[in-house]
Amino acid sequence: MRHAAHFARLVALLVIVVVGFLLVRAKMVPKDFGVKGHFRLSAIADEAAREPRHIGSDACAECHDDIGAAWRAGKHHVPQCENCHGPGLLHTKVVAEDSTRGYPDKILTAFPKAINPGTGIRECRWCHLKTFERPSALKYIVSVQQHVEQHGGTYTSASRCIDCHDPHTAEVKR
């Protein structure tokens, strides 16, 4: 048994390596890893925990009831509030915190992008501008310059659709 000592050392080393591996593995691999497949099961809950930032037109209408009602009854209820104004989550949070103290100023300084006040031309062009690929059968696609001039306006780069149209009902302002 000349080599017994060597052998013992080798076995001891092996045991240390194996135990070390198992310890590190137990620490690194989460408990719920592999429950349903090669992934961490609670990652699904993590993903689901994110808060939706678009709250929906019905939620907007709870506070902006006049605009909400007009929008719903009007001819422009296909685009949602948040299509033009952006997501409302932050907006409602700021409002809920303090709705008495000069809200618009506060939100514009603290969260300049919390809600888009609406330019009345940029948003309209996204959906209404006549371009080559847009199905010409759609009645709401208009050639901007032609349209404005046809209705007695002068078309400049500053022309806004909301000079003539209410953005929420699409009605022509008289």
Partner 1 sequence: MSQLPPDDVTRRAFLETVARTGGQSFLFGSLFVNTALLRLPQAGTDAKARAEAEVGKGVIYGFVVDTTKCIGCGSCVRACRAENGVPDGYNRTWVEQYTFYPDGEVFVNSPNGGEDGFADPAPTRNKPTGTEAPMRGFFVPKLCNHCIDTPCIQVCPVGASFKTDEGVVLVDHERCVGCGYCVQACPFGSRYLNPETGTADKCTWCHHRVVRGLLPACVVSCPAEARIFGNVSDPQSRISRILATNRVQVLKSFLGTRPRTRYIGLDSEVI
* Beta carbons within 10 angstroms of residue 161's beta carbon: 22
Nearest Cα to Cα of residue 89 among 62, 54, 56, 63: 54
Q: Which amino acid would we find at residue 143? A: S
Contacting ligand HEC (CB under 6 A), which of 76, 90, 106, 130?
A: 76
- By beta-carbon proximity to ligand HEC, the closer residue of 26 and 78 is 78
Q: Which stretch binds ligand HEC (CB under 6 A): 17-25, 28-36, 39-47, 118-126?
A: 118-126
The C-alpha atoms of residue 62 and residue 59 are separated, in whole angstroms, by 5
Q: Which stretch binds ligand HEC (CB under 6 A): 8-16, 22-30, 32-40, 158-166?
A: 158-166
Is there a contact between 160 and 117 (Cβ–Cβ < 8 Å)? no
* Beta carbons within 10 angstroms of residue 74's beta carbon: 13
- By beta-carbon proximity to partner 1, the closer residue of 74 and 102 is 74
Q: In angstroms, what CA-CA distances link 165 with 65, 147, 156, 168?
A: 20, 12, 17, 9
In the range 36-55, which residues lie near partner 1 by CB under 8 A? Answer: 36-40, 43-44, 46-54
Q: Where are the alpha helices (DSSP H) in 32-102?
A: 42-48, 57-63, 65-73, 81-85, 89-97
In the range 105-164, which residues lie near partner 1 by CB under 8 A? Answer: 125-127, 129-135, 138, 141, 143-144
Q: Give residues in contact with ligand HEC (CB under 6 A).
A: 55, 57, 59-64, 67-68, 71, 75-76, 78-79, 81-85, 88, 91-92, 95-96, 99, 103-104, 108, 115, 117-118, 120, 123-124, 126-128, 139-140, 142, 144, 147-148, 151-153, 159, 161-165, 167-168, 170, 172
